[in-house]
Chain A
Amino acid sequence: MNFIESIVSIIQKHGTAFLEATTITVSITAISLIIATVIGLVFAFFKVSNIWILAKLADIYIFIVRGLPLIVLIMFLYYGISSVIVLSDFIAGAVALGIHSGAYLAEIFRGAIQSVDRGQNEAARSLGMTAPLTMSTIILPQAFKRAIPALGNQFIIGLKDSSLVAYIAVTELFSHALTASAENYMPFETYLVVGFYYLGLVLIFTLLLNYVEKRLNTENLYMKKLKKKTHSL
């Protein structure tokens, strides 16, 4: 069997299963990133708050999570948590990935929040806006826009890192590759095919990201409003 035939046979045999596994990869990534975003925002707020104890708490969290290899964190949480409460492999994996990415997102959000000009805060506060209202309507929208490139980076890393939950029996894309290559004795070809699945996912995500970034550009927003106006006239 030559190389091309091997590839074709792998796709024929495992193509559908890989695709199904891809949906698990996508969903575990999506759920972990939602968890990570919440964690990241909370700890970013802690860090920019003037409350010493909260800022320290965030520092400790970031230090521990960033300092541990993800696989150690996954194993630790999987065996640690499941000895207390029974979690499905999927949920345990999503939580572990979320906790991991959350530490990185916290730093990204903190940097973005602090990069917004101090005058924005002063202008909002001088109008009588409360601190939470200023944060949610004035600071965060601007910070988020600036954070998009770094966020996209971190999301892509999160997507790829999701392959590590194969080791706690989540049947996502990489775990299928492990099984398939053990069956067919063609590890090189199998991982090549799976590699393209990951590349495809990242490509779709990158395009999505570019679209979001473009949409948030104020110049484009203006043009769109103009168009809408001329339509309604």
Chain B
Amino acid sequence: MIKVTNLKKSFGDLEVLKDINVQINKNEVVVVIGPSGSGKSTLLRCLNKLEETTSGTILLNNIDLTNKKVNINKVREDIGMIFQQFNLFPHKTVLENIIIAPMKIRKKSRKDAENAAYILLDKLGLVDKATAYPDSLSGGQKQRIAIARALAMEPKVMLFDEPTSALDPEMVGEVLNVMKQLAHGGMTMVVVTHEMGFAREVGDRVIFMDEGYVIEEADPKQLFSNPQHERTKAFLSKVL
């Protein structure tokens, strides 16, 4: 579904991604782990072109996103993205946050968009928050609303950029649970996270990155119990 080939990305003189080759298949949950500064978030952000790439290609269903002629807005409609800081729209209610993109971009009627939004909110147990503003929600609720907002566009892939890193510990679980449900529902997901438990339990494949390279990728059981590379071992010994 996504095929990244020879991807490089520099910020000025600093090369943060050095020759990345990764493939993500349909219905697969790929978890990206690695120390901070390893380039994992940058890689994720390149996948929907929130970062311009320096060289290499990113194929999404055989469309090359690095081609300047590709209408990136159209492509992004099918890629949901979840941010560490939630990034809900604070001047809009929960319901408005969820329906704005389906209405403005998918041209759904307000009624259809609201019905779909309520179904999502119901699944998340947040129907009573529909008319609330984001400021009045807890971090866990905000992140679950952000997931609902992305899902309302019915994306084909979901990207998660450290979705639980800004949460209080007691709220991490509720967000991970939603992500697990999504994974079990067959959503194609790329997750950058420090939650090793989630990687092990839900991930179909784990990619370990360090200093701009993919060092190792494997089935989670194998990678966590029997890492091949020295750097992977060193990293895992610190976080596990």
Contact = CB atoms under 8 A, between A and B. Distances in A.
Interface string B71-103: 001101111110101011111010000001100
A219 B135 contact: yes
Given A123-B87, A218-B135, A225 B50 contact: no
A127 B76 contact: yes
In this complex, the interface size class of chain B, counting residues with CB under 8 Å from chain A, is 20 to 34
Contact of A222 (B80, B89, B104, B133): B133
A122 B86 CA distance: 11
A140 to B, nearest CB: 10
Given A122-B83, A222-B131, A142 B91 contact: yes
Interface residues of A, number: 25
Interface of A: 117, 119-120, 122-130, 133, 137-138, 141-142, 145, 218-219, 221-222, 225-226, 229
Given A218-B135, A222-B136, A127 B149 contact: yes
Contacts of A141: 91
Interface string B143-184: 000100110010000000000000000000000000000000
Contacts, number: 75
A222 B79 CA distance: 31
Most chain A Cβ neighbours within 10 Å, of B74, B89, B153: B89
10 contacts: A117-B87, A123-B87, A125-B76, A126-B79, A127-B100, A127-B153, A128-B74, A128-B78, A129-B101, A130-B73
B230 to A, nearest CB: 35
A53 B195 CA distance: 47
Nearest to B149: A127
Given A125-B50, A138-B89, A219-B133, A133 B104 contact: yes
A138 B88 CA distance: 10
Contacts of A218: 90-91, 133, 135
B48 interface: yes
Interface in B35-50: 48, 50
Nearest to A127: B101
B80 to A, nearest CB: 8
A140 B82 CA distance: 23
The 5 closest A-B pairs by CB, nearest first: A128-B77, A123-B87, A126-B81, A119-B87, A127-B101
Given A218-B135, A222-B93, 4 more contacts: A127-B150, A128-B74, A219-B136, A222-B132
A53 to B, nearest CB: 21
